[in-house]
Amino acid sequence: MDDLTYMALAAKVAAKAGPDETYENPRVGAIIVKNGQILATGYHHSFGAAHAEINAFENLRDQTDIVDSTMYVTLEPCFVTGKVGACALAIAQWGVKRVVVGSFDPNPDTHGRSVTFLRQAGIRVDVLGTEDSQILNPGFYHYFERHLPYVQLKLAESANHFVASSQGQSTKITDRLADIDVHKERASKSAILIGSETMLIDQPNLTVRHVPINHPQPLRVVIDRRGRLQNKMDRATNNWLIFTTNTDFAKQYDNVLLMSHGLLSVLTSLASKNIQSVMVEGGPSLITAFLKANLWQEFIVYTADSILSEDGVPSVQPLFNSVSSYRVGNTLKSRYLNDRSVSCLQE
């Protein structure tokens, strides 16, 4: 097999972990090859756990076989010591003859540094420039390349495209299986964002509950332009962040910030707090605002089998084709990606 084939296999290995498991870390796969034989594979299982390269090495039947082998890894090995040791240093010590990297790490702490380090250690390093890692980790790349969080919009609607039975009323639409799926989506995000209307009507917890996590709960973010929550902050003190245009409100609480230039200023502020990804779970008005501002990368719509009254609150209907659509229990889950050419929508 050639380098591209081995790299494609490494990408399949990386995909064994879900984005909810690796959280802010990228999904990475590694394969160790010697004399045309695959000796071991490994992938990054979860946030804070061993990286793909380490797991591949640990999976060797005889670890001395690593000497003079070729290691294929979907993403440039890490250069800095975080929750685990630096993989580039470990690879240099193992006696690997050649390292084939799918993509440079967009994180400036590592970008190009590991490749240079390994070459200086006498190891042949080839960078293929494949897109496997970007496809596996869109949020990770977006954050480090655009310096803004990856924005995923989420909306639940009835079969006849309504989000609530009436204005100002909380309406349960999806079933438990869809709820679990939503929490898996939440588990992969650094923050969850809603508007003040959703906060006042639904009073959501905005936590990950129905799936296990081994990383911090997402930051809970509310956009409250007028300061409607000013006298209702008893629920929004722990791990909550409020954005407002109300100066008095912002002066009153440490976790209330002024938003100077609309939604872009909110995302810029979140990026400065190392928030890599945001799940927007607001109502149609907030979703529409993100769509019109073209400040989104992904849009997920959960369409239940239930029917709501025609007097209800209309959903938001994207004017572009979904990239995937499948059933989750009694709910149809459709995923849309921003192609940057569609900025209009139909309400």
Please identify every residue annotated as catalytic.
53
Does 50 count as an annotated binding residue?
Answer: no
Does 198 count as an annotated binding residue?
Answer: yes
Does 11 count as an annotated binding residue?
Answer: no
Reference 56, options 71, 75, 34; nearest CA is 71
CB crowding 291-300: b at 16 or more within 10 Å, else e: beeebbbbbb
Does 209 count as an annotated binding residue?
Answer: yes
Separation between Cα atoms, residue 103 and residue 125, nearest integer Å: 12
Does 284 count as an annotated binding residue?
Answer: yes
Does 187 count as an annotated binding residue?
Answer: no
CA triplet 287, 234, 281: central angle to 5 degrees?
A: 15
Separation between Cα atoms, residue 191 and residue 149, nearest integer Å: 9
Separation between Cα atoms, residue 241 and residue 198, nearest integer Å: 15
Residues 148, 271 contacting (CB under 8 angstroms): yes
Does 116 count as an annotated binding residue?
Answer: no
Residues 291, 345 contacting (CB under 8 angstroms): yes
Does 202 count as an annotated binding residue?
Answer: yes
Does 206 count as an annotated binding residue?
Answer: yes
Does 10 count as an annotated binding residue?
Answer: no
Residues 221, 192 contacting (CB under 8 angstroms): yes
Reference 301, options 276, 277, 326, 278; nearest CA is 326
Residues sharing a CB contact under 8 Å with residue 26, sequence separation 6 or more, in sequence order: 44, 75, 133, 136, 137, 140
Does 133 count as an annotated binding residue?
Answer: no
Does 288 count as an annotated binding residue?
Answer: yes
Does 156 count as an annotated binding residue?
Answer: yes
Does 303 count as an annotated binding residue?
Answer: no
Residues 61, 55 contacting (CB under 8 angstroms): no
Separation between Cα atoms, residue 164 and residue 155, nearest integer Å: 11
Residues 71, 52 contacting (CB under 8 angstroms): no
Does 38 count as an annotated binding residue?
Answer: no
Which positions make up the binding site? 51, 78, 87, 156, 170, 186, 198, 202, 206, 209, 281, 283-289
Which positions make up the binding site for Zn(2+)? 51, 78, 87
Which positions make up the binding site for substrate? 170, 186, 206, 209, 281
Which positions make up the binding site for NADP(+)? 156, 198, 202, 283-289
